[in-house]
Amino acid sequence: MWIDELTDNEREVLRAAECEGNYEAPFGFSYEIAIYNYATIPATAARGALASLVKKGILDHDRFREDGMLWNYYSVPDKQKIKELREYFGRS
């Protein structure tokens, strides 16, 4: 399975995103919320994993200005991958 080929940090970022509850666009999950509230890796490792996941085409990255702040949001563009991720992390 493609998930098994990911690094530990990449899997941890995706697990943290699932804890936040939403892989799907239009917003997906926010880096700031998912990483600081749910991840068990340092923010620098999480940023590297997110960049790698975007480069691999697993995540889409968007920025939105909200309340005067610029937020980084990520989503999984492939519905099949969303289903596989939810199954992998024990959610349906």
Question: Token pair for residue 39?
Answer: 């991840």
**How many CB atoms sit inside 10 A of residue 46's CB?**
21
Share of the chain above pLDDT 70, in %: 98
Structural domain 2-88, CATH architecture: Orthogonal Bundle (1.10)
Q: Please name the amino acid found at residue 60.
A: D
pLDDT of residue 31: 81
Mean pLDDT score, 46-61: 95
Indicate the SS3 state at residue 41: coil
**How many CB atoms sit inside 10 A of residue 53's CB?**
23
pLDDT of residue 27: 79
Please check the confidence at residue 33 and state whether its pLDDT lies above 90: no
